[in-house]
Amino acid sequence: MSSSSAINSSLPNRWILAIAAFCMQLALGSVYAWSVFLKPVASLYYHVPSAQLAAAQLKPTNITFSVVLVALGITAGFGGYLNNRFGPRVIATAGGILYGLGVILAAFAAPNLIVLYLTYGIIGGIGIGLGYIVALAWKELPFLALLAFSVLATRGPALEETARSLGAGPWAVFRRVTWPLLWRGLLPGIVSVFAFVAGSYEAAVLLAPSDPLPLPLLTYERYTDPDLGRRADAYVLVLLGLGLAAVAVALHEWARARAESFDS
Amino acid sequence: MSGGRTIRIALLGALALSTLGPLALLAVVSLGDRWFFPALWPPRLSAESWRSLLGGRLGYAAATSLVLATSTGVLGCLIALPLGRSLARLTGWRRTVGAAAAFLPVAAPPIALGTGLQVSFLSLGLGGTLVGVILAHLVPAVAYVSLYFLGLFLVFDPRIEEEARSLGAGRFDLWRRVLLPLLHRPLAEGFALGFLVSWAQVPLTLLVGGGAVRTLPLEVLAFVRAGQDRYAATGALLLIVPAFLALALGLSARRAEPAPL
């Protein structure tokens, strides 16, 4: 009892964290509202009512969305590292400020398209990228929280108690005991989630974009192609999928063995 | 503390809404007739898609799925129980390799398994048959369930078996009077796992069934693609039922008695 309350006191209220992440995700979703902005924004640049805009006129303005997504993707790639280094509070705040700044500065961008790319595209995209890392962590929360619970419930309390009795403060207990236990315990679950999502067919067939096709859909398409010559492609893709699965299995077993050796 | 309590209730409410909201929407879609954007509510309600469960395409598909999933659940348990037990008895690198072998069909994309199985099943004359599809579903199902039993037998106290044997129980008696009564609930959970793996399976059914075996998830996908939202929603709601049932039964069983192992 005392050990669990001690862990809780070293962390902010979890419910507030979850609500904050939920609100953040709602706000970040506004990036996909770009199609709503597209015509009004384009009409600012071409001085034409939005109903009369030609497709060719929409194209340059629409590049902004690609720029946003590229900036988002690249930033999110580094976001995990930054998140570990500076903590979610700093990263989420920086994300919010940058996204807001991008949107506000974009209001002054017309008539220069490059300025729009730089403001809404790059600055806003970096902001969303930083925010998404924190929000994605929330999205995968239920499954991984269940795993974290079982990891900590079976191994945590005794070790934490020992660390505390040896004089470790709450932060040291979290950094030296709870966290190492947790990530080793969670790694197999993370690998499983990756393998499952990468190979999932039915979710991809309903929700994924048609270009580029996800691996399972492309495999099926090539496998059922009337042109038998293209079946060879399917077998290459199958081998690729199996190779990925084998790597995931090896990683999973390595992570599990590591977690077990850490345990004993 | 009361502030925390309010937040907790609000959050649980939001969680319930995000879980049950889409289901409620599916229920309305399954009943809405000629419901198009931007109407907020269907102009007419019709139970036509639900009636098709009695003898229509959906009903036939649901029955096929039920047969497939039940067979896969039972056979999967029968194969996976001894498999998981043997894996748990291995030590060192042998167990690692064994567990990895059991994990591979879980991690491998089902479409990759399906392409390989289809070729061999066609040559055996099993392509497009119910038996072929059951055998194909067994590949991931046995993997999932044997991993479940592996985890179970790793914490199972071997002294129980040793004690029964030292008291004179033979292999048959050991299973009938000691292991099976102890494994009553894990077996039910293993069956539910195998059932659900088969119940939601799309790519393996698609490839090995070759369009001749029409299961519920296949029909739902077909209805979604054809824009038949009402039928798709009815099928989707039906797809959720076994998962809900398994969860509810599992929770009530857990509440009724502590875990035996």
Of the given ranges (A189-193, B67-71, B124-128), which has the lowest mean pLDDT? A189-193
The predicted pLDDT at position A7 comes to 42
Check if the beta carbon of residue B128 is closer than 8 Å to that of residue B77: no
| Integer CA distances (angstroms), B188 to A61, B87, B160, B212, in order | 58, 20, 21, 31
CA distance A96 to chain B (A): 22
The predicted pLDDT at position A152 comes to 63
Residue B141 has pLDDT above 70, yes or no: yes
Of the given ranges (B71-80, B96-105, B125-134), which has the lowest mean pLDDT? B96-105
The predicted pLDDT at position A208 comes to 64
Residue numbers in A near B7 (CB within 8 A)? 13, 15-16, 19
The answer to whether B110 contacts chain A (CB < 8 Å) is yes
Residue numbers in B near A19 (CB within 8 A)? 7, 10-11
Residue of A nearest to B224 (CA): A206
* ipTM of this complex: 0.78
| Integer CA distances (angstroms), A130 to A63, A65, A93, A176, B5, in order | 21, 17, 9, 26, 31
- Residue B33 has phi, psi (to 5 degrees) of -105, 130
Alpha helical stretches, state H, A47-112: 55-86, 88-106
How does pLDDT run across A155-211, given as a tens digit for each residue?
A: 667 777 788 888 888 888 888 877 777 776 667 667 777 777 777 787 777 766 666
pTM above 0.90, yes or no: no
CA distance A14 to chain B (A): 10
Percent of chain B with pLDDT over 90: 42
CA distance B6 to chain A (A): 10
Check if the beta carbon of residue B112 is closer than 8 Å to that of residue B171: no
Distance CA B160, CA B260 (A): 12
Whether residue A216 and residue B115 make contact (CB cut-off 8 A), yes or no, is no
Residue numbers in A near B109 (CB within 8 A)? 198-201, 215-216, 219, 241-242, 244-245
Walk me through the domains of chain B, giving residue ranges and CATH numbers.
1-46 (no CATH), 51-256 (1.10.3720.10)
The predicted pLDDT at position A33 comes to 74
CA distance A140 to chain B (A): 14
How does pLDDT run across A215-234, given as a tens digit for each residue?
A: 888 899 899 888 888 888 88
Whether residue B203 and residue A206 make contact (CB cut-off 8 A), yes or no, is no
Q: What angle do CA A96, B5, B258 make, to 5 degrees?
A: 110
Task: List B32's β-bridge partners, or say none.
Answer: B45
Probe site for chain A from B5, B96, B115, B201 (most A CB atoms < 10 A): B115
Q: At A138, which helix (H) or strand (E)?
A: helix A124-139
How does pLDDT run across A68-112, given as a tens digit for each residue?
A: 777 777 777 667 667 767 777 777 788 888 888 888 887 777 677
Residue numbers in B near A15 (CB within 8 A)? 4, 7-8, 11
Distance CA B227, CA A250 (A): 42
Tokens of A72: 């988002």
Distance CA B82, CA A89 (A): 50
Whether residue A252 and residue B206 make contact (CB cut-off 8 A), yes or no, is no
Check if the beta carbon of residue A195 is closer than 8 Å to that of residue A251: no
Distance CA A26, CA A32 (A): 11
The predicted pLDDT at position B192 comes to 92
Phi-psi region of B8 (alpha: psi -120 to 50; beta: other; left: phi over 0): alpha
Distance CA B247, CA B224 (A): 27
CA distance B20 to chain A (A): 16
Q: Please give the interface size between A and B, counted as residue pairs whose CB atoms are below 8 Å apart.
A: 91
Q: A6 falls in which pLDDT band (50, 70, 90)?
A: very low
